[in-house]
Chain A
Amino acid sequence: MTDVLTPVLTANWADDRAWTLAAYEAHGGYQALDKALQLSPEELVELVKDSGLRGRGGAGFPTGMKWSFIPKDNPNPTYLVVNADESEPGTCKDIPLMMASPHTLVEGVIIASRAIEARQAFIYVRGEVLHVVRRLRAAVREAYEAGHVGTDIHGSGMDLDIVVHAGAGAYICGEETALLDSLEGRRGQPRLRPPFPAVAGLYASPTVINNVESIASVPAIVRGGVSWFGSMGTEKSKGHTIYSLSGHVKRPGQYEAPLGITLRELLDLSGGMRDGAELKFWTPGGSSTPILTAEHLDVPLDYEGVSAAGSMLGTKALQIFDQTTSVVRCVLRWTEFYKHESCGKCTPCREGTWWMVQILRRLDRGEGQPGDIETLLDLCDNILGRSFCALGDGATSPITSAIQYFRDEFEAGLTTPSAELFPPSASTLFAATALAGKGAAS
């Protein structure tokens, strides 16, 4: 039995100048690279496959399997692209990782590049995080200077270039094929699949796209091995991962634990709900994952457990809302987000999110019309599975799940404004500190 919390990725975040090469190496950094250079690319792919590491960006696809899809007979160069476009509402794990320990990611990039035999890697980081971009660029520069990146790495004959690429503000670029179009200097719109990126990705060449946390998990797997990684987590969801707690809890933040911890345990660690608060609803993995309620406190937060509860593990972004919060207001705001970020390529998502916002706005104002709830559900039914990419699917999740659990609040929207039922001022951080009479905001 492992400890309740198992810091691996987060273990060095409190170190003095953790972002520097010196601090990272003092913590054992770049030892995994030495070990990886002793292994063949095939052995590395097998290692990560055997470890059971699954994608930490939301979909949970086995990372080693993704790597193994790269064809060996394709004449084009192979590329590794790191999806560092962390933008899913509620999700806030990759940004602090890259801020505190960018070298963990860089080392993972080098090892993953060796596994898929890529000589060029890109880190596509969202543009709206200036200091993270600084830290990444400096880490890559330091890695070059130390000979960890560049030509003939550690005398192994391996060559690798890494480019840190800042995006320009578009949630859709977190979708992997939209990210590729964006990285090619185009509007970030998703591509039709097949062909899949493993065959025709960046510049129509074989490409692996992995989330930051997935790649950053690789160095420890190389050092610790398959059984070490598998000693944490559950049977089908192996390893450690970062859970991000936000909202009406006493101590929001990043909690790295074995997969399968429950919200009850996490709430217990974080001091529980803020004073006087009861859990009303929460997202297990960002706004695109159907909301859950207090009845799901003991659901194991792994891929299977959350799926069985009717939602998705997603990015493990646990946004916690208490009884002061209007679910209609929240769903409206999320839907406005999806409408704003819809790339416009396909009709169900572009038009559907627009119509859903119109209906939700009048429900939020207390001016809903009979049949609005049914129309919303009908719209969701016409978007889910009929959109070009997962953005449209995600846009339906908050609506259908919120109506499932809180239909009466939507019905109240026919007569009463949400702000009257749930005054927004009661939900704020500063309201909480005023009520509790302590300086939690400091």
Chain B
Amino acid sequence: MTTNDPAQSPLPDSVDGMVTQTPTEHAETPIGPTTLAELKELAGRYPQSRSALLPMLHLVQSVQGRVTTEGIETCARILDLSEAEVSAVATFYTMYKRRPMGTHHVGVCTNTLCAVMGGDEIFERLCGHLDVGNDETTADGAITLERVECNAACDFAPVVMVNWEFFDQQTPESAIDLVERLRAGERVASPRGAQITSWREAERVLAGFEDGRVDEGPAAGEASLAGLRIAQERGWEAPPLEEDSGTGRGGETKQEAAAEADTQRAEAETVAEQSPADVEGGADDD
């Protein structure tokens, strides 16, 4: 993760006078006209183009599998920055990888709560099973394993992330099964997310391009609903909204009719809210 990383050298590796490439270099798609146009599009989304640097580096990773020298040079050129300025950013954030990544990124939360709840044991078992250490990639190039910090899912501890999708309440066995299915190319879906694609495809979404998977998965996992379920069972709710009708809608607008219709629908819904009957609906989406 430093600028001295050999993989980051601007010169090709030279062995006995022969120019060689590491196997993963072949997998790196050059930054072509399409990517260039997309990088510029990202730069155009902000009042000041430099704000697009983080998304642009995500896009570089999605195309090239890591933050390459070419990627840094390209971002610098588009944003009129020095390469040092771009490198300084690329080396600050843990999601930017300077070494080639596996097809899938598997992150085991080993921050305190997940560690105590079993994350440490899961990480150790995965290291042994995959024969890799932290931040290393399996020999077959399928999995890069990393210890990650708190991923904001403590009520689902211990948590494993695959390409930044949640896998909740894991055990060493379930985690090993998960990575084996990923290695075998089986279809794997996050219980609170979409079907797993690849780390690179995930990076493209993070950069700012939708992938059409937003409607996969449920609205929430069971732990997220723990309090709501109890409230529904016991008939507890917040005091009713006043909905004071005194707000004169002075300026009539085109949306006025629709807004009125929505109000009526919502009033009907307010009654329906008390019934937990329809709460399971979201589970069929995937």
* B270 proximal to A (CB < 8 A): yes
CB distance A91 to B152 under 8 Å? yes
* A236 proximal to B (CB < 8 A): no
* B71 proximal to A (CB < 8 A): no
Assuming the A-B contacts A13-B220, A247-B116, A333-B115, are A429 and B171 also in contact, with contact meaning beta carbons closer than 8 angstroms in the complex? Answer: yes
CB distance B47 to A86 under 8 Å? no
Report Cα–Cα, A26/B261, bound state, in Å.
Answer: 10
Nearest neighbor of B57 in chain A, beta-carbon distance:
A168
* B7 proximal to A (CB < 8 A): no
**Chain A contacts with B in 168-212, Cβ cutoff 8 A:** 168-171, 182-188, 203
For chain A, the count of residues having a C-beta within 8 Å of the partner chain is: 118
Assuming the A-B contacts A10-B227, A130-B165, are A319 and B112 also in contact, with contact meaning beta carbons closer than 8 angstroms in the complex? Answer: yes
A169: which of B94, B121, B194, B202 is its contact (CB, 8 Å)?
B94
Report Cα–Cα, A26/B210, bound state, in Å.
Answer: 25
A128: which of B164, B210, B232, B269 is its contact (CB, 8 Å)?
B164
Which chain B residues border A225 with CB–CB below 8 Å?
242, 244
B224: which of A100, A129, A224 is its contact (CB, 8 Å)?
A100
Assuming the A-B contacts A92-B153, A337-B149, are A247 and B223 also in contact, with contact meaning beta carbons closer than 8 angstroms in the complex? Answer: no
Which chain A residues border B208 with CB–CB below 8 Å?
137, 164, 166
Which chain B residues border A133 with CB–CB below 8 Å?
205-206
Q: Mark A219-231, 1 if CB is under 8 A from B, else 0.
A: 0100111011001
Q: Which of A28-36, A109-117, A359-367 contacts B (4 or more CB under 8 A)?
A: A28-36
Report Cα–Cα, A26/B278, bound state, in Å.
Answer: 13
CB distance B206 to A5 under 8 Å? no
A131: which of B52, B165, B227 is its contact (CB, 8 Å)?
B165
A191 CB to closest chain B CB (Å) equals 15
Which chain A residues border B190 with CB–CB below 8 Å?
131
CB distance B154 to A92 under 8 Å? yes
Nearest neighbor of B45 in chain A, beta-carbon distance:
A163
B154: which of A90, A127, A169, A251 is its contact (CB, 8 Å)?
A90
Most-contacted residue by chain A among B110, B148, B149 (CB, 10 A): B149
Report Cα–Cα, A155/B258, bound state, in Å.
Answer: 13
CB distance B117 to A428 under 8 Å? yes
Q: Mark B235-266, 1 if CB is under 8 A from A, else 0.
A: 01111011110011111011100010011011
Most-contacted residue by chain A among B155, B234, B255, B266 (CB, 10 A): B155
CB distance B223 to A253 under 8 Å? yes
CB distance A171 to B149 under 8 Å? yes
CB distance B152 to A13 under 8 Å? no
CB distance A89 to B266 under 8 Å? no
* A214 proximal to B (CB < 8 A): no
CB distance B210 to A13 under 8 Å? no
**Chain A contacts with B in 2-24, Cβ cutoff 8 A:** 2-8, 10-11, 13-20
CB distance A154 to B255 under 8 Å? yes
* A82 proximal to B (CB < 8 A): no
CB distance A187 to B220 under 8 Å? no
**Chain A contacts with B in 100-151, Cβ cutoff 8 A:** 100-101, 120, 126-131, 133-135, 137-138, 141, 147
* B150 proximal to A (CB < 8 A): yes
Report Cα–Cα, A168/B157, bound state, in Å.
Answer: 22
* B12 proximal to A (CB < 8 A): no
CB distance B249 to A38 under 8 Å? yes
CB distance A11 to B95 under 8 Å? no
* B211 proximal to A (CB < 8 A): yes
Interface size class of B (residues with CB under 8 A): 35 or more
Nearest neighbor of B168 in chain A, beta-carbon distance:
A441
Q: Which of B19-27, B31-39, B85-93, B176-184 contacts A (4 or more CB under 8 A)?
A: B85-93
Which chain B residues border A167 with CB–CB below 8 Å?
54, 93, 95
CB distance B281 to A16 under 8 Å? yes
Which chain A residues border B156 with CB–CB below 8 Å?
92, 252
Q: Which of A61-69, A254-262, A375-383, A385-393 contacts B (4 or more CB under 8 A)?
A: A254-262
Which chain B residues border A251 with CB–CB below 8 Å?
223, 226
Report Cα–Cα, A197/B114, bound state, in Å.
Answer: 35
CB distance B154 to A319 under 8 Å? yes
Which chain A residues border B251 with CB–CB below 8 Å?
155-156
CB distance B219 to A333 under 8 Å? no
* B215 proximal to A (CB < 8 A): yes
Which chain B residues border A128 with CB–CB below 8 Å?
95, 107, 148, 151, 161, 164
Report Cα–Cα, A88/B151, bound state, in Å.
Answer: 9
Report Cα–Cα, A412/B94, bound state, in Å.
Answer: 35
* A311 proximal to B (CB < 8 A): no
Most-contacted residue by chain A among B223, B242, B251 (CB, 10 A): B223
* A424 proximal to B (CB < 8 A): yes
CB distance A130 to B224 under 8 Å? no
CB distance A35 to B113 under 8 Å? no
CB distance A333 to B111 under 8 Å? yes
Q: Which of A50-58, A238-246, A298-306, A403-411 contacts B (4 or more CB under 8 A)?
A: A238-246
CB distance B164 to A224 under 8 Å? no
Assuming the A-B contacts A253-B222, A424-B120, are A168 and B95 also in contact, with contact meaning beta carbons closer than 8 angstroms in the complex? Answer: yes
CB distance A19 to B241 under 8 Å? no
A223 CB to closest chain B CB (Å) equals 5
CB distance A92 to B152 under 8 Å? yes
B205: which of A8, A130, A329 is its contact (CB, 8 Å)?
A130
Nearest neighbor of A32 in chain B, beta-carbon distance:
B241
A427: which of B116, B166, B223 is its contact (CB, 8 Å)?
B116
CB distance B242 to A166 under 8 Å? no
* A425 proximal to B (CB < 8 A): yes
Closest 10 CB pairs of A and B: A253-B226, A16-B281, A255-B227, A185-B53, A168-B93, A155-B253, A246-B154, A3-B236, A28-B266, A428-B118
